[in-house]
Amino acid sequence: MSNYKSTFGVEIHLELNTNTKAFSSSPVSTTMEPNTAISPTDLAYPGTKPRLNKKVVEHAFKLATLLKMDIADVLHFDRKNYIYPDLSKGFQITQFYNPIGKKGIFTIINQDGVKKEIQITEIHIEEDTAKQVKLSGGKIGFDFNRAGVALIEIVTGHEDFETIEEVTQFVEQFRQLALLLNISNCKFEDGSIRTDINVSVSNTTELGNRVEIKNLNSISNMRDALKFEIDSQIKTIESGSTVEVVTKRFDEATRQTVFMRNKESITDYNYFPEANILPINIVSFKEQWSKDILINSISERQTLENENVNFEDINILLSNVQLFNLYKELGISSIAFIKNLLMGTLKDASLTLSNLSLKLEDYKNIISLLKDSKMTSTEAKVLIINSAKESVTDEIAKLSSREALTIEDLKLLIIEIDNENPELKDERPVRKLKFVMGQLMKKTKGAINAKEAMELLKEHYEIT
């Protein structure tokens, strides 16, 4: 199997952060009742005409700029004709002949700091389809609230990716770029980022037949789908058969790729210019949009590397624009607090940074109090959770006036606990440590560093 070479082409479909749809005034919503966020334009009722959402073009322009693409001055749109139940009007408005961006570069970085350039063939604007919904009795329904939602499709070349890991690194790091640009919420679970991957296998200098795997919705699914498909194609080739050019999906239950349909060709879609949207000149907008690009994950990743932030922590910080902005305000010494305490607390309490009333100074004070052992991690968690309901600034100020306990203070308290509980001398080590730690917490009202106190207790009782 080592003689086989795999090649991959990636298509990322990115739903954009806009209030209304790409070509109508219908609201973009994931919470409204099915088939209520729609208009006659979304369903192409006779007499209706599409009207382009300016914000969609701005988002696409910003992305194309950071990818160093050749960006069109004039926008053109086309019709992609096909009849599937998820697009009842029978066509999709897209950009086939003249995409907004061509010939770009995206640099991926692996955990060893090795960089690799991935060629971006094009990005184009289009509209999303309806969402398929499973109903009782094995029936299938469609929610057209999603139909017409703005998408950017990002298409890569087919010869840059050499491994599955490079593919997943590209998708994850591209997702970070879109998050920091604030052009999409990039939630796999909501379908706001979906990935199609073309994969081919060959043991000659010729490229093998491509199989497209549709709508991969997580990094783990990508890894498993590509691994299974590569193994499957190798088995097909070694059996003397030909790999069919088809479209497949990934079955999450069996962890296998399964046949969906034969692969359509360009002629099947019968593309032609969209006559209801005239060419649109965007030159006058480009300068302003360029000024509004505030964050670039590619350069920010390099900055973090220069600050000696490790690969894992960089990915965490770049996964959320609010988290990254908080880190920039707090500095490199805040990483442990952000990663180990803040994020864990938010996850456990089902909160986000947006829910918290904490100000920058509050964060700084909490980190300082933890460092000075004037606050325990438990107290910090309670404060963070409570800040979702009310301001905790005054409570933080009260804790700031608390006297920090010294090592000598702790030693005296341990002796005091020994004197109060003479039976401890015969207690088993584990129970003794647990009891005394509880007493220390009680006497200090939690104002101790638990790890530091435990080391002190082991030393005092000569427990290894």
Residue 250 sits in the same domain as residue 363 = no
Report how far apart, in Å, the C-alpha atoms of 89 and of each of 40, 41, 93, 267 are.
10, 10, 11, 19
Nearest CA among 357, 409, 372, 17 for reference residue 187: 17
Greater confidence (52 vs 115) lies with 52
What pLDDT, on a 0 to 100 scale, did the predictor assign at position 198?
A: 95
263-285: average pLDDT: 88
Residue 328 sits in the same domain as residue 273 = no
Tokens of 149: 């939602």
Report how far apart, in Å, the C-alpha atoms of 52 and of each of 220, 244, 280, 283, 386 are.
36, 39, 10, 16, 44
In this predicted model, what pLDDT tens digit does every residue of 311-357 receive, in sequence order? 888 888 887 878 888 999 998 889 989 988 999 899 899 988 989 99
The separation between the first and the last C-alpha atoms of the chain, rounded to the nearest angstrom, is 51
Residues 6+ apart with CB under 8 A from 397: 365
What pLDDT, on a 0 to 100 scale, did the predictor assign at position 32?
A: 93
Rounded to whole angstroms, how far apart are CA atoms 173 and 168? 8
305-316: average pLDDT: 86
183-201: average pLDDT: 93
What pLDDT, on a 0 to 100 scale, did the predictor assign at position 249?
A: 93
Model confidence at 166, pLDDT cuts 50, 70, 90, reads very high
Domain membership of residue 314 (yes or no) is: no
Residue 340 sits in the same domain as residue 273 = no
Q: Across 41-50, 119-128, 434-443, which has the greatest mean pLDDT?
A: 119-128
Domain that holds residue 371: 320-400
Res 69 pLDDT > 60: yes
Domain membership of residue 63 (yes or no) is: yes
What pLDDT, on a 0 to 100 scale, did the predictor assign at position 224?
A: 96
What pLDDT, on a 0 to 100 scale, did the predictor assign at position 236?
A: 94
3-state helix, strand, coil in the chain (%, to 5): 40, 20, 40
Output the DSSP codes for 77-140: -EEEE---TTSTTSEEEE-SSS-SEEEEEEEEE-TT--EEEEEEEEEEEEE--PEEEE-GGG-E
- Pairing state between β 78-81 and 150-156: unpaired
Res 216 pLDDT > 60: yes
Tokens of 57: 């073009």
What pLDDT, on a 0 to 100 scale, did the predictor assign at position 426?
A: 73
Query: How many domains would you assign to the chain?
Result: 3
Residue 396 sits in the same domain as residue 432 = no
Question: Which of 357, 380, 400 delimits the end of a domain?
Answer: 400
447-453: average pLDDT: 72
Domain membership of residue 290 (yes or no) is: no
227-232: average pLDDT: 95
Residue 208 sits in the same domain as residue 272 = yes
Tokens of 205: 């200098």
Q: Is 220 left (phi over 0), alpha (psi -120 to 50) or beta?
A: alpha
What pLDDT, on a 0 to 100 scale, did the predictor assign at position 203?
A: 87
Domain membership of residue 309 (yes or no) is: no
Residue 246 sits in the same domain as residue 380 = no
Residue 372 sits in the same domain as residue 449 = no
Residue 235 sits in the same domain as residue 384 = no
221-245: average pLDDT: 94
In this predicted model, what pLDDT tens digit does every residue of 76-125 receive, in sequence order? 999 999 888 888 888 999 999 999 999 999 999 888 888 899 999 999 99
Question: Which of 380, 400, 420 delimits the end of a domain?
Answer: 400
Residue 142 sits in the same domain as residue 213 = yes
Domain membership of residue 289 (yes or no) is: no
Model confidence at 18, pLDDT cuts 50, 70, 90, reads very high
Question: Which of 256, 284, 312 delimits the end of a domain?
Answer: 284
Domain membership of residue 291 (yes or no) is: no
Res 424 pLDDT > 90: no
Res 445 pLDDT > 70: no
Residue 385 sits in the same domain as residue 416 = no
DSSP E strand boundaries for 164-225: 193-202, 211-216
What pLDDT, on a 0 to 100 scale, did the predictor assign at position 182?
A: 87
Residue 148 sits in the same domain as residue 40 = yes
Domain membership of residue 297 (yes or no) is: no
Res 295 pLDDT > 70: no
Rounded to whole angstroms, how far apart are CA atoms 368 and 375? 9
Residue 335 sits in the same domain as residue 443 = no
Residues 6+ apart with CB under 8 A from 459: none
Domain membership of residue 304 (yes or no) is: no
What pLDDT, on a 0 to 100 scale, did the predictor assign at position 284?
A: 93
